């Protein structure tokens, strides 16, 4: 593998913004998609997170593909639902974007923990990131199943070796967290403008 598991996502992130500085739908979704192979390396522990992220990406992609010109910008997918008052529906793209962003928040926090706390076992790194990001949005059921799943987290060293490839994994994780976080921040701000950033899991 040339570079690390993060290389494709890092290349994609460079194209996420238009010249006017707006987030473009396809490159953003592709960048998220490129993170799925990283999640794969977690094995069973992240199966739930992966299917959740994959499902939200395809929901947004379906809408984007229905009219690529109209939905060239990521937020146009939300705006159309705000106008038609369907944004709060559990099957809306708005909901999809919100949960995709939250799942990515969790992953960024997790990757950060892995480079900042070298002495932490994987389960601690996962639990800490979960508590900081997703926990407050999850109901009791999702929370408890997550706790169980974290016990399946892989050995930290093996995981880092697998995702490292031929590149500098710490540098790539650092770069991913630094370049991707502001995009997620922007998503939250945009959703918050319409009061859509604090929807909980049903």
Question: Is there a domain that residue 102 lies in?
Answer: yes
Question: Is there a domain that residue 25 lies in?
Answer: yes
What's 135's DSSP letter?
G
CATH code for the domain in which residue 100 is found: 1.10.3520.10
Render each residue's pLDDT in the chain as its tens digit; 202 residues.
578 889 999 999 999 999 999 999 999 999 999 999 989 888 888 888 899 999 999 999 999 999 999 999 999 999 999 999 999 999 999 999 999 999 999 999 999 999 999 999 999 999 999 999 999 998 888 888 888 888 888 899 989 888 888 889 999 999 999 999 999 999 999 999 999 999 887 5
d(CA 139, CA 136): 8
pTM exceeding the 0.85 threshold for the entire prediction: yes
Question: Is there a domain that residue 197 lies in?
Answer: no
- State the residue range of the domain holding 142: 4-188
Question: Is there a domain that residue 182 lies in?
Answer: yes
User: Other C-beta atoms within 10 Å of 5: how many?
Assistant: 23
Give the total residue count for the chain.
202
Res 202: pLDDT:
56
Question: Is there a domain that residue 200 lies in?
Answer: no
**68-94 burial: b if 16+ Cβ within 10 Å, else e:** eeebebbbbbbebbbeeeebeeeebbb
The phi, psi pair for 24, rounded to 5°, reads -90, 140
Structure confidence by residue, pLDDT tens digits, 39-71: 988 888 888 889 999 999 999 999 999 999 999
Task: Kindly report each contact of residues 130-134 with a partner whose C-beta sits within 8 Å and lies 24 or more positions away, as own/partner.
Answer: 130/106, 133/102, 133/105, 133/106, 133/109, 134/102, 134/103, 134/105, 134/106
Q: Which is nearest to 10 in space by CA: 45, 38, 40?
A: 38
Question: Domain total for the chain?
Answer: 1
d(CA 91, CA 88): 8
What's 17's DSSP letter?
B
Question: Is there a domain that residue 195 lies in?
Answer: no
Question: Is there a domain that residue 201 lies in?
Answer: no
Question: Is there a domain that residue 18 lies in?
Answer: yes
């Amino acid at each position: 593998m040339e570079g690390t598991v993060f290389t494709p996502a890092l290349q994609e992130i460079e194209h996420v913004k238009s010249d006017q500085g707006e987030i473009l739908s396809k490159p953003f979704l592709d960048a998220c998609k490129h993170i799925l192979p990283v999640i794969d390396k977690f094995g069973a522990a992240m199966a739930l997170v992966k299917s959740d992220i994959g499902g939200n990406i395809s929901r947004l992609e379906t809408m984007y593909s229905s009219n690529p010109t109209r939905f060239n910008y990521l937020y146009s997918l939300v705006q159309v639902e705000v106008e038609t008052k369907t944004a709060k529906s559990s099957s809306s793209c708005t909901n999809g974007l919100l949960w995709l962003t939250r799942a990515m928040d969790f992953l960024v926090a997790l990757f950060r923990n892995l480079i900042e706390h070298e002495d932490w076992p994987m389960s601690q790194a996962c639990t800490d990131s979960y508590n900081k990001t997703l926990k407050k949005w999850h109901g009791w059921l999702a929370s408890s199943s997550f706790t169980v799943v974290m016990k399946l987290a892989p050995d930290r060293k093996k995981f880092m070796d697998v995702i490292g490839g031929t590149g500098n994994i710490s540098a790539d994780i650092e770069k991913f967290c630094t370049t991707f976080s502001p995009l997620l921040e922007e998503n939250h701000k945009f959703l918050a403008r319409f009061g859509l950033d604090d929807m909980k899991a049903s």
